[in-house]
Structure 1
Amino acid sequence: MAKGDRKRALRGRAGRMKGGRGSGRGTTGHVRLWGRHPVEAALKNPARQHRKLWATREAIETLDGELPVDFPIEYAEVTDLARLVAKDAPHQGLVLECEPLDGIFLDDVATGDPARPVVVLDQVTDPHNVGAILRSAAAFNAACIVTQDRHAPPESGVLAKSASGALETVPWIRVVNLSRALDDLAEAGYWRIGMTGEADATLAEALPAGPVAIVLGAEGEGMRHNIEQHCDALAKLPISSVIESLNVSNAAAISLYAVATRS
């Protein structure tokens, strides 16, 4: 299939469903982010629409760069900020209310670059895990993460804190049909590797030289059977028998490292 044909395949299916953004935004209403790294990254992201920043005067001084003159800021004490966020959340004197990010086209970011893998998450719902995976995706220059909209967490302060700024820099594609998105990735030239401890081959043995999509399932349940059927190969990480499995965010980080360092 020619490159132009692959592009059309992505545009016509999961990549551009319902106006081209999967099923649309994964979050409704406003999002509150807290902590220096998430707030600073959101403030620097031109794609974010900001509503209001609550902050201590000391915390404002820690931010990198100057806020616009007319930026809506309300100075507050630490105890006041604690009432705006989840209990015991480490807000570090900064709480930002903003709009959720707009959806992104799958084919705008999954361009077939061998150096930029795609991470596909099948029903990984814990915001700490998804945030940590976003952080690893940023560290290893992944093209994007892909989730099904109905079985993934919304944007939130907890997720953004775990992502440590990566929520603003790593494209997050939400699709209606994950199997169809995997088909589209295959048509775009990606080799889809499903990570499972039941596989015979290790990830190093299964990795090709070209573009790769790493597919990871939820902890405990793993990938659904239908998702496995849409993978080109199954692979495992060579962990010790002393432990049954790794946390999905750890598995994602190791898998991305393996892709980045393949010979």
Structure 2
Amino acid sequence: MSVENQNQEEMIAGKHPVLEALRSGREINKIWIADGAQKTLTQPIVAEAKKLGIVVQFVDKRKLDSMVEGVAHQGVVAQAAAFDYVEVEELLEIASKSGETPFILVLDEIEDPHNLGSILRTAECTGVHGVIIPKRRSASLTATVLKTSAGAAEHVPVARVTNLAQTIDKLKEAGVWVAGTDVSASQDVYKMKFDMPLAVVIGNESKGMGRLIKEKCDFLVKLPMLGRLNSLNASVAAGVLMYEVVRQRRDV
């Protein structure tokens, strides 16, 4: 998980996030490991760090607690260069180079870092080519997000944009269809076809999509609600939608 500090560096906490950061080629400055931490937990990290020439220091656990306050670090913390966000155009290039139909997630003001981390984890598992988040009123790639994503954030490109509505216009100009998720939509997600270049918009946890973003979508879809509640947790809804896209594309 990463916490950005004033020097534009991040603290990554936890075995899997640190190991994935190392394996992904992320620029790591230093790694701290708590005295007495389980060797089975830390040995792969120490070996990888040694291979890459990264300094590893063994310290009191309390030092790690203060470095990433409130984050379950498992006795491992790394200092990395600030997270490298990408441009929206790069997400489309990734799909093009892979020879795959573009599949992008657009997150409209997802505020809970645990939701963002969970969404990134599922996005990595379902082959999403990239995730777009707004700079304002949105969770960013913090330590909690990286920890919740179990290292997936190191492998899913994330674009951070100033204007989400304009970004959607750019996607549409590039031939990408934009599907919004809304409980009031008339179309059931299981009756739609998702075999086209696609961007799926997931709205804010409490308010859903903003009015302008909703108007920018080519079509709106909803998940069927058969119980007494009328909505799902944002990360759960996103996961269901991502796997429905995967299911349809595998059947083509």
Give the TM-score normalised by the residue count of structure 1.
0.83
Is 1:31 the counterpart of 2:10? The answer is yes
Structure 1 pair 253–219 and aligned structure 2 pair: CA distance change class (3 A) = same
Structure 1 pair 27–218 and aligned structure 2 pair: CA distance change class (3 A) = farther
C-alpha RMSD of matched pairs (Å)? 2.0
Is 1:72 the counterpart of 2:72? The answer is no
Q: Offset of 1:95 from its aligned partner?
A: 0.5
Q: Match for 2:118 among 116, 132, 157?
A: 132
Is 1:109 the counterpart of 2:91? The answer is yes
Specify the alignment match of 1:18 in structure 2: none
Specify the alignment match of 1:214 in structure 2: 200
Q: Match for 2:21 among 42, 59, 62?
A: 42
Specify the alignment match of 1:153 in structure 2: 139
**Aligned to 1:66, what secondary structure does the other structure show?**
helix
Instruction: Give the counterpart letter for 2:78 in structure 1.
Output: L
- Structure having greater relative contact order (Cα 8 Å, sep ≥ 6): 1
Instruction: Give the counterpart letter for 2:61 in structure 1.
Output: V
**Aligned to 2:50, what secondary structure does the other structure show?**
coil
Q: Quick one: distance in 2 between partners of 1:146 and 1:38?
A: 21
**Aligned to 2:231, what secondary structure does the other structure show?**
coil
Question: Which of the two has greater strand per residue?
Answer: 2
Q: Offset of 1:101 from its aligned partner?
A: 2.0
Is 1:244 the counterpart of 2:230? The answer is yes
- Runs (5+) with no aligned partner, structure 2: none
**Aligned to 1:120, what secondary structure does the other structure show?**
strand
Instruction: Give the counterpart letter for 1:33 in structure 2.
Output: I
Specify the alignment match of 1:96 in structure 2: 78
Is 1:235 the counterpart of 2:218? The answer is no
Instruction: Give the counterpart letter for 2:247 in structure 1.
Output: T
Q: Quick one: distance in 1 between partners of 2:45 and 2:188?
A: 43
Decide which moves more: 107-116 or 172-181.
107-116
Q: Deviations over 1:120-142 (max 9, x none)?
A: 01111211111111001001000
Is 1:183 the counterpart of 2:162? The answer is no
Q: Offset of 1:60 from its aligned partner?
A: 2.6
Q: Offset of 1:27 from its aligned partner?
A: 8.0
Q: Quick one: distance in 1 between partners of 2:68 and 2:226?
A: 40
Q: Quick one: distance in 1 between partners of 2:184 and 2:200?
A: 16
Q: Quick one: distance in 1 between partners of 2:5 and 2:204?
A: 21
Structure 1 pair 64–189 and aligned structure 2 pair: CA distance change class (3 A) = farther
Q: Match for 2:183 among 177, 193, 197?
A: 197
Cα contact 2:10–2:83 (8 A) shared by 1: no
Q: Quick one: distance in 1 between partners of 2:152 and 2:20?
A: 8
Instruction: Give the counterpart letter for 1:249 in structure 2.
Output: S
Instruction: Give the counterpart letter for 1:135 in structure 2.
Output: R
Is 1:61 the counterpart of 2:51? The answer is no
Specify the alignment match of 1:52 in structure 2: 30
Cα contact 1:127–1:158 (8 A) shared by 2: yes
Instruction: Give the counterpart letter for 2:30 in structure 1.
Output: K
- Runs (5+) with no aligned partner, structure 1: 1-25
Cα contact 1:193–1:206 (8 A) shared by 2: no
Q: Quick one: distance in 1 between partners of 2:168 and 2:177?
A: 10
Q: Offset of 1:65 from its aligned partner?
A: 5.0
Q: Offset of 1:181 from its aligned partner?
A: 0.8
Q: Offset of 1:115 from its aligned partner?
A: 4.5
Q: Quick one: distance in 2 between partners of 1:64 and 1:201?
A: 51
Give the TM-score normalised by the residue count of structure 2.
0.86
**Aligned to 1:151, what secondary structure does the other structure show?**
coil
Specify the alignment match of 1:19 in structure 2: none
Q: Quick one: distance in 2 between partners of 1:110 and 1:240?
A: 36
Instruction: Give the counterpart letter for 1:255 in structure 2.
Output: L
Percent identity between matched residues is 30
Q: How does 1:12-27 map to 2 (within 5 A)?
A: none
Cα contact 1:147–1:175 (8 A) shared by 2: yes
